[in-house]
Amino acid sequence: MIDQTRRGFLKGVLGAGVAGIALGSGLIPLRVEAAPDASNWSKKAFSTPGVDDTISELYGMEAVESDKISMDLPTIAQNGAVVPVTVETSLPNVTGIALLVAQNPNALAATFEIPKGTLPFVSNRLKMAETTDVVAVVISDGKAYKATQNVKVTVGGCGG
């Protein structure tokens, strides 16, 4: 009889324990994956060939050459699959930066939104199919500016 009671008691404790854990985990909110929203991703801009067409598709205007955009990228790329590109600018009130590769099937490689408080600087690695101009577009005070630099690619980055 005593054994029975002990067993029952243990079962009870064990059961309560399990229930407690279940309740506890329920109370802790599950970590929600805060996935970014891809609905604003511009399919059209990313599938437009040609630099000027892409810029007007992206920003609805033409970009003016500017010497205040500094681009840091190799003049000769051994491997077109990985070409580091760094863009920095002294232009004021920058809200966006875009990187374009002129000779790629679709010119646009990346666009960056620069909220207030973020410096107009970005470094990224891009693929290039062949020797090409790389164009950096900077949106400053609502106007588009661009700078261009040529990269000699010895091995293309688009396979095939």
**In the complex, which residues of this chain contact other proteins (CB under 8 A)?**
33-38, 40-42, 46, 81-84, 86, 101, 104-106, 108-115, 117-119, 121-128, 157-160
* Min CB(34)–other proteins separation in Å: 6
Please, which residue, 27 or 34, has the CB nearer to other proteins?
34
Positive or negative, the CA dihedral 51, 57, 61, 67 is: negative
Nearer to other proteins, 71 or 81 (CB): 81
Min separation Cβ 16 and other proteins, Å: 33
**What is the distance of C-alpha 22 from the center of its chain?**
39
100 contacts: CB under 8 Å, gap ≥ 6: 51, 54, 55, 107, 108, 109, 134, 135, 136, 137
HSE (side-chain half, CA atoms, 13 Å) at 23:
6
Minimum distance from CB of 144 to other proteins (Å)?
A: 16
Closer CB to other proteins, residue 12 or residue 79? 79
Residue pair 96/118 in contact by the 8 Å Cβ criterion? no
Question: How many Å apart are CA 137 and CA 146, to the nearest integer?
Answer: 4
Q: Shortest gap between Cβ of 7 and other proteins (angstroms)?
A: 41
Residues in the chain: 160
**87/147 with CB nearer other proteins:** 87
